[in-house]
Amino acid sequence: MSANFHRIVILTGAGISAESGIDTFRSAGGLWEQHRVEDVATPEGFARNPDLVLNFYDMRRAALANVAPNPAHMALARLEREFRGDLLLVTQNVDDLHERGGSARVLHMHGELKSALCASCETRAPWLDAMLHRPPCPVCQAPSLRPDVVWFGEMPYQMGRIYQALEACDLFVSIGTSGAVYPAAGFVQEARAAGARTLELNLEPSEGSSLFHDTRLGPASVMVPQWVEEMLGG
């Protein structure tokens, strides 16, 4: 793939963090086999059993201390530094491995583990500690903090900005995502409608593989650095 692109949108999913040791959702033994989605990833589940939900995200937040970015995260950070056109990195991941890999501008459309959302005053604030003990909101002091993670039935963040970039891009690249969750799963069609070339990098063909012009199969830690090298004309 030549470096002849000027506006790239990259979408990442759990597969890019898999080799760092973070469980994906839909693989055998993945998070959605260990937990019921309705219990830990819906507003209704939170209303039913807030302790269960707060504890689930407290454990995932704490687990970030035991993982590190892999060569795929670092390669995307290199692309951000060295690519001369526009680049928008959109992730569905709530981990912080893109940032720790060196990416400065990451759009977390499904929120972040290291952020809290106050259910009372709607403040979003960086948050590194547990929430199970109901710490007060740093702004309104109400004990109403919840994980700043987008649950099923809630609107992902910054969709306006993402669609704007998709409409203007000439290359869309999807990395390590199963294509099972909308609206992210529909980005490839938006990009194609705008005339962009589309590329999927994944371990195995995803549900939406046939929608892409090109698919390259293999582990992200190998495929992403290889593709970045090509893009930068190396």
Size of the site for ligand OAD (CB under 6 A): 26
Q: Which of 73, 110, 114, 197 binds ligand OAD (CB under 6 A)?
A: 110
* Residue 74 makes contact with ligand OAD by CB under 6 A: no
Beta carbons of 202 and 176 less than 8 angstroms apart:
yes
Q: Which of 67, 181, 194, 232 binds ligand OAD (CB under 6 A)?
A: 181
* Residue 118 makes contact with ligand OAD by CB under 6 A: no
* Residue 71 makes contact with ligand OAD by CB under 6 A: no
| CA–CA distance, 155 with 107 (Å, rounded to integer) | 14
* Residue 33 makes contact with ligand OAD by CB under 6 A: no
For the bound state, the minimum distance from the C-beta of residue 25 to ligand OAD, rounded and expressed in Å, comes to: 3
For the bound state, the minimum distance from the C-beta of residue 139 to ligand OAD, rounded and expressed in Å, comes to: 25
Q: Which of 69, 176, 208, 225 binds ligand OAD (CB under 6 A)?
A: 176
For the bound state, the minimum distance from the C-beta of residue 151 to ligand OAD, rounded and expressed in Å, comes to: 6
Q: Which of 77, 79, 150, 211 binds ligand OAD (CB under 6 A)?
A: 150
Residue 65 burial (10 A CB sphere; 0-12, 13-18, 19+): exposed
- To the query of whether residue 110 is one of the catalytic residues in this protein, the response is yes
**In terms of DSSP bridges, do strands 214-217 and 171-175 run parallel, antiparallel, or are they unpaired?**
unpaired
Beta carbons of 124 and 150 less than 8 angstroms apart:
no
- φ/ψ region of 218 (left if φ > 0, alpha if ψ in -120 to 50, else beta) reads left
Q: Which of 206, 215, 225, 227 binds ligand OAD (CB under 6 A)?
A: 206
Residue 184 burial (10 A CB sphere; 0-12, 13-18, 19+): buried
Query: Considering only residues 213-232, where is the footprint of ligand OAD by CB under 6 A?
Result: 219-220
- The nearer residue to ligand OAD, 129 or 204, going by C-beta atoms, is 204
Annotate each residue in 51-70 with x if it binds ligand OAD (CB under 6 A) or - if it does not, as one string: --------------------
For the bound state, the minimum distance from the C-beta of residue 74 to ligand OAD, rounded and expressed in Å, comes to: 14
* Residue 19 makes contact with ligand OAD by CB under 6 A: yes
Catalytic residue positions?
110
The binding site for ligand OAD (CB under 6 A) comprises 13-15, 18-19, 24-27, 30, 41, 92, 110, 150, 152, 176-178, 180-181, 202-204, 206, 219-220
